[in-house]
């Protein structure tokens, strides 16, 4: 959009490839000390929508006029239309105190737009760029999740330690050739057996 007083604007250019639609913004400024009535006229009213096409501008203030091109067809590219902004004093019937003619033109998009529904004669090896993504497929969950390598090694090491505790002699056991520091209590063996049982259940579920 371009912005500026109509007195300084001679040409308004609409772009057919504007994302929000071809539109422009005019700013009408009233430098006088009295309110002015304005009216926007067009030679091709069917091709444009003018928001606030008629109204009043307060003294020493401005108002924005939005013009939208509603027919950005290729047949309208580079066709010049004309807008006229008429200013009249408030309360005077038909007395125009100023006017400005503005030329408007619709420019073709920088890159050709592909018309929707038009067949493409050129074959493509893959899906077109604007093809909607395929529907997400829901795969059944694995009822037996696999253990990660790090978790498996940790469980394996814990199992080996538990088995080693079960094989060690009790503290009050006599005749063992192992040093006394390697003798374990009954409670430690029970804990090792419990841990080994839990690990066995984990391995069976995987």
Q: Is 97 found in the same domain as 12? A: yes
Domains identified in the chain, total number: 2
Provide the residue range defining the domain that includes 198: 149-205
Say if 195 falls within a structural domain: yes
Q: Is 155 found in the same domain as 62? A: no
pTM: 0.47
Q: Is 97 found in the same domain as 156? A: no
Say if 72 falls within a structural domain: yes
Q: Which of 107, 140, 167 is the last residue of a domain?
A: 107
> What is the Cα Rg of the chain in Å?
42
pLDDT tens per residue across span 90-137: 775 667 888 888 898 999 887 665 544 455 545 445 544 433 344 444
Q: Which of 107, 128, 162 is the last residue of a domain?
A: 107
- What confidence score (pLDDT) does residue 138 get? 44
Q: Is 153 found in the same domain as 103? A: no
Q: Is 92 found in the same domain as 172? A: no
pLDDT tens per residue across span 72-81: 889 989 999 9
- What confidence score (pLDDT) does residue 22 get? 84
Say if 135 falls within a structural domain: no
Q: Is 99 found in the same domain as 11? A: yes
Residue 2 above 50 pLDDT? no
């Amino acid at each position: 959009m371009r912005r500026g007083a109509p007195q300084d604007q001679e040409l308004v250019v609409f772009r057919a490839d504007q994302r929000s639609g071809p539109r422009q913004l005019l700013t009408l400024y009233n430098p006088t000390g009295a309110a002015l009535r304005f009216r926007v006229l067009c030679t091709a009213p069917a091709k444009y929508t003018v928001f606030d096409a008629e109204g009043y501008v307060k003294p020493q203030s401005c108002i924005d006029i939005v013009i939208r091109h509603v027919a950005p067809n290729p047949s309208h590219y580079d066709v010049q239309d004309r807008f006229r902004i008429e200013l009249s004093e408030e309360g005077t019937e038909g007395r125009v105190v100023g006017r400005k003619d503005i030329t408007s033109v619709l420019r073709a998009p920088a890159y050709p737009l592909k018309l929707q529904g038009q067949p493409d004669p050129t074959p493509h090896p893959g899906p077109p760029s604007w093809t909607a993504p395929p529907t997400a497929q829901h795969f059944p969950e694995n009822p037996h999740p696999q253990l990660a390598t790090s978790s498996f090694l940790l469980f394996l090491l814990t199992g080996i330690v538990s088995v080693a505790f079960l094989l060690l002699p009790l503290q009050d056991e006599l005749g063992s050739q192992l040093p006394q520091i390697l003798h374990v209590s009954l409670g430690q063996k029970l804990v090792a057996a419990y841990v080994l049982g839990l690990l066995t259940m984990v391995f069976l579920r995987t």
